[in-house]
Chains A and B, each alone.
Chain A
Protein backbone atom coordinates (compact mmCIF):
# COMPACT_ATOMS: atom_id res chain seq x y z
CA UNK A 1 0.00 0.00 0.00
CA UNK A 2 2.88 2.37 0.71
CA UNK A 3 5.07 1.49 -2.24
CA UNK A 4 7.09 4.56 -3.22
CA UNK A 5 6.05 4.34 -6.88
CA UNK A 6 2.40 4.10 -5.89
CA UNK A 7 2.68 7.16 -3.69
CA UNK A 8 4.48 9.11 -6.39
CA UNK A 9 1.75 8.12 -8.84
CA UNK A 10 -1.01 9.27 -6.50
CA UNK A 11 0.74 12.58 -5.85
CA UNK A 12 0.95 13.21 -9.59
CA UNK A 13 -2.73 12.32 -9.99
CA UNK A 14 -3.97 14.64 -7.24
CA UNK A 15 -5.19 18.08 -8.48
CA UNK A 16 -3.36 19.89 -5.66
CA UNK A 17 -0.01 18.95 -7.20
CA UNK A 18 -0.94 19.62 -10.82
CA UNK A 19 2.03 21.02 -12.73
CA UNK A 20 4.51 20.46 -9.90
CA UNK A 21 8.11 19.79 -11.10
CA UNK A 22 9.29 16.16 -10.97
CA UNK A 23 12.10 16.85 -8.53
CA UNK A 24 9.63 18.39 -6.05
CA UNK A 25 7.26 15.45 -6.35
CA UNK A 26 10.10 13.06 -5.58
CA UNK A 27 10.99 15.07 -2.48
CA UNK A 28 7.35 15.09 -1.34
CA UNK A 29 7.06 11.35 -1.87
CA UNK A 30 9.49 10.75 0.97
CA UNK A 31 7.16 12.59 3.36
CA UNK A 32 3.93 10.88 2.29
CA UNK A 33 2.04 7.70 3.02
CA UNK A 34 -1.33 6.34 2.01
CA UNK A 35 -3.99 6.18 4.72
CA UNK A 36 -7.56 4.96 5.03
CA UNK A 37 -10.23 5.99 7.55
CA UNK A 38 -13.48 4.06 8.04
CA UNK A 39 -16.71 6.03 7.99
CA UNK A 40 -17.41 7.78 11.28
CA UNK A 41 -13.83 7.92 12.57
CA UNK A 42 -12.10 11.14 13.51
CA UNK A 43 -9.06 11.92 11.37
CA UNK A 44 -7.99 14.52 13.88
CA UNK A 45 -9.52 16.53 16.70
CA UNK A 46 -9.37 20.15 17.77
CA UNK A 47 -6.43 20.91 20.08
CA UNK A 48 -4.32 17.96 18.96
CA UNK A 49 -0.90 18.60 17.49
CA UNK A 50 -1.18 19.29 13.76
CA UNK A 51 1.46 17.06 12.22
CA UNK A 52 -0.08 16.19 8.90
CA UNK A 53 -2.05 17.36 5.91
CA UNK A 54 -4.23 15.13 3.79
CA UNK A 55 -4.93 14.99 0.07
CA UNK A 56 -8.22 13.15 -0.31
CA UNK A 57 -8.36 10.53 -3.03
CA UNK A 58 -11.86 9.21 -2.33
CA UNK A 59 -14.61 9.70 0.22
CA UNK A 60 -15.82 12.75 2.09
CA UNK A 61 -14.96 14.40 5.40
CA UNK A 62 -16.81 16.83 7.62
CA UNK A 63 -15.06 19.74 9.36
CA UNK A 64 -16.76 20.21 12.70
CA UNK A 65 -16.57 22.39 15.79
CA UNK A 66 -17.82 21.07 19.08
CA UNK A 67 -19.87 23.66 20.95
CA UNK A 68 -21.23 22.35 24.28
CA UNK A 69 -23.98 21.93 25.24
CA UNK A 70 -25.37 21.96 21.68
CA UNK A 71 -22.93 19.41 20.32
CA UNK A 72 -20.93 19.39 17.11
CA UNK A 73 -21.63 21.66 14.14
CA UNK A 74 -20.44 20.86 10.66
CA UNK A 75 -18.85 24.00 9.22
CA UNK A 76 -17.39 22.72 5.98
CA UNK A 77 -16.80 19.60 3.93
CA UNK A 78 -14.08 18.19 1.71
CA UNK A 79 -14.10 15.38 -0.81
CA UNK A 80 -11.95 13.68 -3.46
CA UNK A 81 -9.51 16.13 -5.00
CA UNK A 82 -9.50 18.40 -1.94
CA UNK A 83 -6.86 19.09 0.69
CA UNK A 84 -7.53 19.01 4.43
CA UNK A 85 -5.43 20.77 7.02
CA UNK A 86 -3.02 23.68 7.04
CA UNK A 87 -2.51 24.13 10.78
CA UNK A 88 0.71 22.12 10.43
CA UNK A 89 2.22 25.15 8.64
CA UNK A 90 1.27 27.69 11.27
CA UNK A 91 2.69 27.97 14.79
CA UNK A 92 1.65 26.55 17.29
CA UNK A 93 0.78 23.62 14.98
CA UNK A 94 -2.57 22.74 16.60
CA UNK A 95 -5.81 21.73 14.89
CA UNK A 96 -8.61 24.28 15.19
CA UNK A 97 -11.48 21.94 14.35
CA UNK A 98 -12.39 18.26 14.23
CA UNK A 99 -12.30 16.37 10.96
CA UNK A 100 -14.43 13.24 10.69
CA UNK A 101 -14.77 10.76 7.85
CA UNK A 102 -18.40 10.88 6.68
CA UNK A 103 -17.77 7.86 4.48
CA UNK A 104 -14.66 5.70 4.02
CA UNK A 105 -11.82 8.02 3.13
CA UNK A 106 -8.65 7.18 1.25
CA UNK A 107 -6.00 9.85 1.29
CA UNK A 108 -2.34 10.71 1.09
CA UNK A 109 -1.01 11.89 4.44
CA UNK A 110 2.03 14.18 4.43
CA UNK A 111 4.23 14.48 7.50
CA UNK A 112 4.46 18.16 8.38
CA UNK A 113 7.79 18.00 10.23
CA UNK A 114 9.33 16.12 7.29
CA UNK A 115 8.00 18.74 4.85
CA UNK A 116 9.21 21.67 6.91
CA UNK A 117 12.64 20.00 7.01
CA UNK A 118 12.60 19.71 3.22
CA UNK A 119 11.69 23.38 2.92
CA UNK A 120 14.59 24.41 5.19
CA UNK A 121 16.92 22.57 2.85
CA UNK A 122 15.20 23.73 -0.29
CA UNK A 123 13.30 27.03 0.14
CA UNK A 124 12.12 26.93 -3.47
CA UNK A 125 10.02 23.85 -2.60
CA UNK A 126 8.55 25.76 0.34
CA UNK A 127 7.69 28.64 -1.98
CA UNK A 128 6.08 26.21 -4.43
CA UNK A 129 3.96 24.71 -1.65
CA UNK A 130 2.93 28.09 -0.25
CA UNK A 131 1.81 29.10 -3.74
CA UNK A 132 -0.56 26.15 -3.60
CA UNK A 133 -1.74 26.56 -0.02
CA UNK A 134 -2.34 30.31 0.01
CA UNK A 135 -5.08 30.21 -2.69
CA UNK A 136 -6.83 27.47 -0.69
CA UNK A 137 -6.71 29.67 2.40
CA UNK A 138 -7.92 32.67 0.40
CA UNK A 139 -10.86 30.76 -1.04
CA UNK A 140 -11.76 29.39 2.34
CA UNK A 141 -11.73 32.90 3.82
CA UNK A 142 -13.92 34.23 0.99
CA UNK A 143 -16.36 31.36 1.42
CA UNK A 144 -16.54 31.97 5.16
CA UNK A 145 -17.32 35.64 4.56
CA UNK A 146 -20.15 34.68 2.22
CA UNK A 147 -21.49 32.23 4.78
CA UNK A 148 -21.41 34.96 7.42
CA UNK A 149 -23.52 37.19 5.18
CA UNK A 150 -26.31 34.61 5.28
CA UNK A 151 -27.21 35.61 1.72
CA UNK A 152 -30.21 33.31 1.48
CA UNK A 153 -31.73 34.57 4.71
CA UNK A 154 -34.82 36.76 4.81
CA UNK A 155 -33.41 39.45 7.06
Chain B
Protein backbone atom coordinates (compact mmCIF):
# COMPACT_ATOMS: atom_id res chain seq x y z
CA UNK B 1 0.00 0.00 0.00
CA UNK B 2 1.61 3.37 -1.02
CA UNK B 3 2.05 6.15 1.53
CA UNK B 4 -0.80 8.68 1.50
CA UNK B 5 0.52 11.94 0.07
CA UNK B 6 -1.52 14.04 2.49
CA UNK B 7 0.10 12.69 5.63
CA UNK B 8 2.86 14.91 7.00
CA UNK B 9 5.36 14.29 9.74
CA UNK B 10 4.94 16.31 12.91
CA UNK B 11 4.69 16.20 16.66
CA UNK B 12 0.91 16.10 16.87
CA UNK B 13 0.13 12.86 18.76
CA UNK B 14 -3.13 12.60 16.87
CA UNK B 15 -1.50 12.48 13.44
CA UNK B 16 -0.29 9.04 12.31
CA UNK B 17 3.23 8.91 10.93
CA UNK B 18 3.62 6.68 7.87
CA UNK B 19 5.99 3.80 8.55
CA UNK B 20 7.10 1.23 5.99
CA UNK B 21 6.95 -2.42 6.97
CA UNK B 22 10.43 -3.91 7.20
CA UNK B 23 9.48 -7.45 8.09
CA UNK B 24 6.47 -9.64 8.61
CA UNK B 25 7.01 -12.78 10.69
CA UNK B 26 4.31 -15.34 11.26
CA UNK B 27 4.51 -16.54 14.88
CA UNK B 28 1.55 -18.93 14.86
CA UNK B 29 -1.46 -19.61 12.67
CA UNK B 30 -3.16 -16.38 13.78
CA UNK B 31 -0.37 -14.32 15.36
CA UNK B 32 2.17 -12.29 13.44
CA UNK B 33 4.92 -9.79 14.21
CA UNK B 34 5.23 -6.66 12.10
CA UNK B 35 8.45 -4.69 12.22
CA UNK B 36 8.13 -1.09 11.13
CA UNK B 37 10.85 1.27 9.96
CA UNK B 38 10.45 4.48 11.98
CA UNK B 39 14.06 5.59 11.51
CA UNK B 40 12.90 8.89 9.99
CA UNK B 41 11.46 9.84 13.32
CA UNK B 42 12.43 7.25 15.90
CA UNK B 43 11.33 7.85 19.47
CA UNK B 44 12.66 6.02 22.50
CA UNK B 45 10.05 3.87 24.16
CA UNK B 46 9.74 2.16 27.52
CA UNK B 47 8.96 -1.56 27.78
CA UNK B 48 5.22 -1.91 28.22
CA UNK B 49 4.21 1.14 26.17
CA UNK B 50 1.93 0.89 23.16
CA UNK B 51 1.38 2.62 19.84
CA UNK B 52 -1.69 3.21 17.71
CA UNK B 53 -1.39 1.46 14.35
CA UNK B 54 -3.49 2.78 11.50
CA UNK B 55 -4.29 0.60 8.52
CA UNK B 56 -5.12 3.28 6.00
CA UNK B 57 -8.75 3.24 5.00
CA UNK B 58 -9.63 0.47 7.44
CA UNK B 59 -9.09 1.53 11.02
CA UNK B 60 -6.76 2.12 13.94
CA UNK B 61 -5.90 -0.20 16.85
CA UNK B 62 -3.73 -0.01 19.97
CA UNK B 63 -0.86 -2.51 20.00
CA UNK B 64 1.87 -3.00 22.58
CA UNK B 65 5.41 -2.66 21.34
CA UNK B 66 7.10 -6.05 21.39
CA UNK B 67 10.57 -5.15 20.09
CA UNK B 68 13.88 -4.22 21.64
CA UNK B 69 13.99 -0.77 23.31
CA UNK B 70 17.64 -0.55 22.26
CA UNK B 71 16.49 -0.38 18.62
CA UNK B 72 13.63 2.15 18.66
CA UNK B 73 14.01 2.78 14.95
CA UNK B 74 12.67 -0.71 14.31
CA UNK B 75 9.29 -0.92 16.02
CA UNK B 76 8.01 -4.47 16.41
CA UNK B 77 4.39 -5.28 17.19
CA UNK B 78 3.00 -8.76 17.74
CA UNK B 79 -0.64 -8.96 16.72
CA UNK B 80 -3.37 -11.55 16.76
CA UNK B 81 -5.60 -11.56 13.71
CA UNK B 82 -9.04 -11.49 15.28
CA UNK B 83 -10.80 -8.31 14.18
CA UNK B 84 -11.74 -6.19 11.19
CA UNK B 85 -8.41 -4.32 11.31
CA UNK B 86 -6.02 -7.05 12.40
CA UNK B 87 -7.23 -9.60 9.85
CA UNK B 88 -6.36 -7.49 6.79
CA UNK B 89 -3.21 -6.34 8.61
CA UNK B 90 -1.84 -9.87 8.53
CA UNK B 91 -1.90 -9.77 4.74
CA UNK B 92 0.55 -6.84 4.62
CA UNK B 93 3.98 -7.44 3.20
CA UNK B 94 7.35 -5.67 3.50
CA UNK B 95 7.29 -2.45 1.52
CA UNK B 96 3.71 -1.53 2.36
CA UNK B 97 3.05 0.95 5.15
CA UNK B 98 1.04 1.61 8.29
CA UNK B 99 0.34 4.82 10.17
CA UNK B 100 1.89 5.01 13.62
CA UNK B 101 1.09 7.22 16.60
CA UNK B 102 2.95 7.04 19.86
CA UNK B 103 4.52 5.53 21.87
CA UNK B 104 1.94 6.10 24.60
CA UNK B 105 1.26 5.13 28.18
CA UNK B 106 3.23 3.86 31.13
CA UNK B 107 5.89 1.16 31.13
CA UNK B 108 7.06 -1.67 33.35
CA UNK B 109 8.99 -0.65 36.51
CA UNK B 110 12.47 -1.37 35.16
CA UNK B 111 14.21 0.94 37.63
CA UNK B 112 12.17 -0.10 40.67
CA UNK B 113 13.08 -3.72 39.96
CA UNK B 114 16.83 -3.15 40.25
CA UNK B 115 18.35 -5.30 42.98
CA UNK B 116 15.20 -7.39 43.24
CA UNK B 117 14.05 -10.79 42.08
CA UNK B 118 11.71 -10.46 39.12
CA UNK B 119 8.84 -12.73 38.11
CA UNK B 120 7.18 -12.21 34.73
CA UNK B 121 3.93 -14.08 34.15
CA UNK B 122 2.53 -14.04 30.63
CA UNK B 123 -0.53 -15.65 29.15
CA UNK B 124 -1.02 -16.14 25.41
CA UNK B 125 -0.08 -13.11 23.39
CA UNK B 126 0.49 -11.30 26.71
CA UNK B 127 4.12 -12.23 26.31
CA UNK B 128 4.41 -9.52 23.63
CA UNK B 129 4.31 -6.47 25.96
CA UNK B 130 6.76 -8.23 28.27
CA UNK B 131 9.31 -9.01 25.57
CA UNK B 132 10.84 -5.49 25.50
CA UNK B 133 11.25 -5.79 29.26
CA UNK B 134 12.96 -9.17 28.87
CA UNK B 135 15.37 -7.59 26.38
CA UNK B 136 16.14 -4.81 28.82
CA UNK B 137 16.59 -7.16 31.80
CA UNK B 138 18.91 -9.25 29.66
CA UNK B 139 20.91 -6.17 28.68
CA UNK B 140 21.39 -5.23 32.35
CA UNK B 141 21.30 -8.75 33.79
CA UNK B 142 23.68 -8.04 36.69
CA UNK B 143 21.38 -5.33 38.04
CA UNK B 144 18.69 -7.84 38.97
CA UNK B 145 18.35 -10.90 41.19
CA UNK B 146 16.69 -14.11 40.05
CA UNK B 147 14.52 -13.64 36.99
CA UNK B 148 11.70 -16.06 36.25
CA UNK B 149 9.63 -15.99 33.09
CA UNK B 150 6.42 -18.05 33.31
CA UNK B 151 4.56 -18.40 30.06
CA UNK B 152 1.22 -20.13 29.57
CA UNK B 153 -0.47 -20.77 26.24
CA UNK B 154 -3.43 -22.66 24.91
CA UNK B 155 -1.45 -25.33 23.04
CA UNK B 156 2.08 -25.94 21.73
CA UNK B 157 0.98 -24.50 18.37
CA UNK B 158 0.24 -21.15 20.06
CA UNK B 159 3.72 -20.52 21.44
CA UNK B 160 5.13 -17.20 20.22
CA UNK B 161 8.84 -16.31 20.04
CA UNK B 162 9.61 -20.02 20.21
CA UNK B 163 13.05 -19.42 18.72
CA UNK B 164 13.96 -16.97 21.48
CA UNK B 165 12.61 -18.72 24.59
CA UNK B 166 15.48 -21.16 24.95
CA UNK B 167 17.97 -18.34 24.47
CA UNK B 168 16.51 -16.32 27.32
CA UNK B 169 17.14 -19.27 29.57
CA UNK B 170 20.57 -20.25 28.28
CA UNK B 171 22.15 -16.89 27.49
CA UNK B 172 20.43 -14.52 29.88
CA UNK B 173 20.34 -16.61 33.03
CA UNK B 174 16.58 -16.45 33.27
CA UNK B 175 14.48 -19.32 34.51
CA UNK B 176 11.99 -19.75 31.67
CA UNK B 177 9.03 -22.09 32.25
CA UNK B 178 6.43 -22.90 29.66
CA UNK B 179 3.07 -24.58 30.18
CA UNK B 180 0.20 -25.38 27.84
CA UNK B 181 -3.49 -25.71 28.67
CA UNK B 182 -3.96 -28.50 26.15
CA UNK B 183 -1.13 -30.75 25.01
CA UNK B 184 -0.80 -32.11 21.51
CA UNK B 185 0.73 -35.48 20.58
CA UNK B 186 4.45 -35.45 21.21
CA UNK B 187 4.42 -32.61 23.74
CA UNK B 188 6.73 -33.53 26.63
CA UNK B 189 6.49 -30.33 28.65
CA UNK B 190 4.22 -29.08 31.39
CA UNK B 191 0.43 -29.18 31.02
CA UNK B 192 -1.89 -27.03 33.11
CA UNK B 193 -2.46 -23.38 33.88
CA UNK B 194 0.29 -20.79 34.18
CA UNK B 195 -0.49 -20.10 37.84
CA UNK B 196 0.63 -23.61 38.74
CA UNK B 197 4.19 -22.67 37.72
CA UNK B 198 4.41 -20.17 40.57
CA UNK B 199 4.88 -23.02 43.06
CA UNK B 200 8.35 -23.70 41.72
CA UNK B 201 9.62 -20.12 41.48
CA UNK B 202 12.76 -19.41 43.45
CA UNK B 203 12.52 -15.90 44.89
CA UNK B 204 12.61 -13.86 48.08
CA UNK B 205 8.96 -12.73 48.32
CA UNK B 206 9.88 -9.61 50.32
CA UNK B 207 12.34 -8.51 47.64
CA UNK B 208 10.47 -9.41 44.49
CA UNK B 209 8.52 -7.54 41.83
CA UNK B 210 6.02 -9.48 39.75
CA UNK B 211 4.72 -8.28 36.39
CA UNK B 212 1.91 -9.94 34.53
CA UNK B 213 0.12 -9.58 31.22
CA UNK B 214 -2.57 -11.76 29.72
CA UNK B 215 -6.31 -12.28 29.83
CA UNK B 216 -7.74 -10.43 32.84
CA UNK B 217 -9.03 -13.61 34.44
CA UNK B 218 -5.55 -15.11 34.20
CA UNK B 219 -4.10 -12.05 35.93
CA UNK B 220 -6.77 -12.26 38.62
CA UNK B 221 -5.82 -15.82 39.52
CA UNK B 222 -2.14 -15.02 39.16
CA UNK B 223 -2.42 -12.20 41.70
CA UNK B 224 -4.10 -14.56 44.17
CA UNK B 225 -1.23 -17.01 43.83
CA UNK B 226 1.36 -14.25 44.15
CA UNK B 227 -0.33 -13.04 47.33
CA UNK B 228 -0.30 -16.63 48.57
CA UNK B 229 3.48 -16.69 48.05
CA UNK B 230 3.79 -13.56 50.19
CA UNK B 231 4.11 -11.04 47.36
CA UNK B 232 2.04 -7.97 48.24
CA UNK B 233 -0.24 -6.03 45.88
CA UNK B 234 2.21 -3.12 45.75
CA UNK B 235 4.88 -5.51 44.41
CA UNK B 236 2.67 -6.58 41.50
CA UNK B 237 2.28 -4.77 38.16
CA UNK B 238 -0.40 -5.56 35.61
CA UNK B 239 -0.89 -4.49 32.01
CA UNK B 240 -4.53 -3.59 31.39
CA UNK B 241 -6.43 -3.55 28.14
CA UNK B 242 -9.53 -1.58 27.25
CA UNK B 243 -10.98 0.20 24.22
CA UNK B 244 -8.22 2.74 23.63
CA UNK B 245 -8.92 5.20 20.84
CA UNK B 246 -7.36 8.64 21.24
CA UNK B 247 -4.42 7.25 23.29
CA UNK B 248 -3.89 10.57 25.09
CA UNK B 249 -6.62 10.56 27.73
CA UNK B 250 -9.11 12.78 25.91
CA UNK B 251 -11.86 10.62 24.48
CA UNK B 252 -12.67 8.62 27.61
CA UNK B 253 -13.28 5.31 25.88
CA UNK B 254 -10.75 3.53 28.07
CA UNK B 255 -11.80 5.04 31.38
CA UNK B 256 -11.19 2.64 34.26
CA UNK B 257 -12.44 4.12 37.49
CA UNK B 258 -10.60 7.42 37.88
CA UNK B 259 -7.89 6.38 35.41
CA UNK B 260 -7.57 6.28 31.66
CA UNK B 261 -5.82 3.12 30.57
CA UNK B 262 -4.16 4.87 27.63
CA UNK B 263 -2.68 7.71 29.68
CA UNK B 264 -2.33 6.36 33.24
CA UNK B 265 -1.69 2.78 32.08
CA UNK B 266 -1.57 0.33 30.46
CA UNK B 267 0.89 -0.74 33.18
CA UNK B 268 -0.42 -0.17 36.70
CA UNK B 269 0.88 -1.05 40.13
CA UNK B 270 -1.84 -3.40 41.24
CA UNK B 271 -2.65 -1.84 44.62
CA UNK B 272 -3.55 1.39 42.79
CA UNK B 273 -6.28 -0.20 40.69
CA UNK B 274 -7.30 -3.04 42.98
CA UNK B 275 -10.62 -1.38 44.02
CA UNK B 276 -11.71 -1.40 40.38
CA UNK B 277 -10.19 -4.72 39.34
CA UNK B 278 -13.06 -6.88 40.49
CA UNK B 279 -15.90 -4.62 39.37
CA UNK B 280 -17.92 -6.28 36.64
CA UNK B 281 -18.58 -4.40 33.40
CA UNK B 282 -15.98 -1.74 34.24
Measured CB to CB, the residues of A under 8 A from B are 60, 62-63, 71, 73-77, 79, 81, 102-103, 139, 142-143, 146-147, 149-154
B154 and A152: CB pair below 8 A?
yes
Closest 6 CB pairs of A and B: A152-B124, A74-B183, A152-B154, A151-B215, A77-B191, A143-B193
User: What B residues does A151 contact at CB under 8 A?
Assistant: 123-124, 181, 214-215, 217-218
A152 and B123: CB pair below 8 A?
yes
Q: Which of B167-207 contact A (CB under 8 A)?
A: 179, 181-183, 185, 187-193, 195-196, 199-200
Mostly, the A contact residues are mixed
Partner of B191, one of A75, A149, A150: A75
Partner of B190, one of A77, A142, A149, A154: A77
Measured CB to CB, the residues of B under 8 A from A are 30, 80, 82, 123-124, 152-154, 158, 179, 181-183, 185, 187-193, 195-196, 199-200, 214-215, 217-218, 221
Please judge, given known A-B contacts A151-B215, A152-B215, whether A143 and B187 are in contact too, CB under 8 Å.
no
- Cβ-closest chain A residue relative to B224: A142
A75 to B199, CA, bound (A): 19
B199 and A154: CB pair below 8 A?
no
User: What B residues does A75 contact at CB under 8 A?
Assistant: 183, 191
User: What A residues does B196 contact at CB under 8 A?
Assistant: 139, 143
B82 and A154: CB pair below 8 A?
yes
B158 and A152: CB pair below 8 A?
yes
Q: How far is the CB of A119 from chain B (nearest CB, A)?
A: 26
User: What A residues does B189 contact at CB under 8 A?
Assistant: 77
User: What A residues does B30 contact at CB under 8 A?
Assistant: 154
A142 to B188, CA, bound (A): 23
A73 and B80: CB pair below 8 A?
no
A71 to B271, CA, bound (A): 46
A103 to B189, CA, bound (A): 11
